[in-house]
Amino acid sequence: MAMLLQITTFLQQWLYSQPSVKAGTKNANAVRIGILSTAMINPAGIIHPAESHPGVVIKAIASRDIKTAQKAAKSYSIERAYGSYEELLKDAEIDAVYISLPNGMHAEWSKKAMNAGKHVLIEKPVASNAEEAATIFETAKKTNRIAVEAFHWQFHPAAHVVQSLVKSGRYGRVISTHAKMTSPANSVPKSDIRWQYDLAGGSLMDMTYVISSTRYFLNAGTPQSVEYAKARTLPYDKRVDESIDARMYFESKVAADSGLVKSDIHTDMNQPYVGHVIPKIWEQPSIMIELEDATIYFYNFMMPHLFHYIEVTDKRTGQKHTQKHYNFGPEWGARSEPWWSTYRYQLEAFVDKLTGKQPVHWISPDDSIAQMRTIDAIYDKSGLGKRPSNYTESKI
């Protein structure tokens, strides 16, 4: 349940942002970050991770309402509050901007931020559609700014361990994958922006992790084909998906003899209760990867810092073994802490990139564009059509 995971992450990161584990004195050349919006994701996504990073200062936060911005600034000891996004972008002391606005506003404000000289960390999905995504990274190249999509889970050691198991060839090549993510009915209020078509809402947009995980473990771009995509829409807005089931075929270097991997995904942002009484709170984002000689099941890949397990079932012996990885791993090594959240690992990489170092992991522009092209293709196959753009260049 995505909402429960976020709330638990807030609590976990709050505990680890107390004086005993805070970074203490910040570096003199710390990256100064501004936040566009006062969204609920901010404490987990950037504020608490920054508290334990000596190379980051949250300098300002902006809302369309100054009182809302001031309240947030006071709550999190942020120095400056602005009553408009434009004001924050004019602040010459801001180096980078975290964009946690609704999906449909990501492209507009990412481009405005980069044109104002700021680097951008953009919440997922990076844009409303692939065309918008491409313009974001074109602007990044033109302005010589760094833009990256915040697929935080990919920065965690557990994700790297699973990827290494797949790539190793130890269990043969990949035959199929199945990724799913659900939230119980009514856990996302009707008024929530995630249901709003004009803001690029829908279950596939919000739960785009199922596509991200599939593509990441296959090291794949866009699918060769989308065999089917079936959507259950909102009763009051048939343009917006409550749930989507889709099957795709990906070309991949880790694919079995056919050269193609069959990949199923399932999202449900309004999942019915069992017997109309019991919410399926035990269902966390997960992916099953079937290889020739084993299956790998990664439970709670989205927020593995809270709890996860990687279960490997050997087809040859029938034996199962389970492992967990909260730090170290094949990429981070000793440069990690077991209490770091996925967002804290992500911030470590973001700061490395901004300061000219080689990040341990990175999400490339091509990857983010391919991610949006895949989303667009599924929406098109479902008959709903890709999410529209709601801005024009003249407004930017």
Give me the phi and psi of 346, to 5 degrees please: -60, -45
Nearest CA among 337, 125, 364 for reference residue 348: 337
Sheet holding 294-299, edge to edge: 225-234, 237-251, 260-271, 174-184, 286-291, 294-299, 309-314, 320-323
Q: Which residues pair with 271 in a beta bridge?
A: 184
Nearest CA among 201, 226, 230, 232 for reference residue 214: 226
The reply to whether 357 belongs to the active site is: no
Given 112, 124, 180, 386, the catalytic residue: 124
Dihedral angle over CA of 136, 32, 84, 37, nearest 10: 70
Instruction: Read off the tokens for 23.
Output: 């970074």
Burial (CB count within 10 angstroms: exposed 0-12, middle 13-18, buried 19+), residue 19: exposed
Nearest CA among 307, 343, 303 for reference residue 322: 307
Query: What gap in Å lies between CA 186 and CA 190, rounded to an integer?
Result: 8
DSSP 68-90: HHHHHHHHTT-SEEESSHHHHHH
What residues act catalytically?
Answer: 124
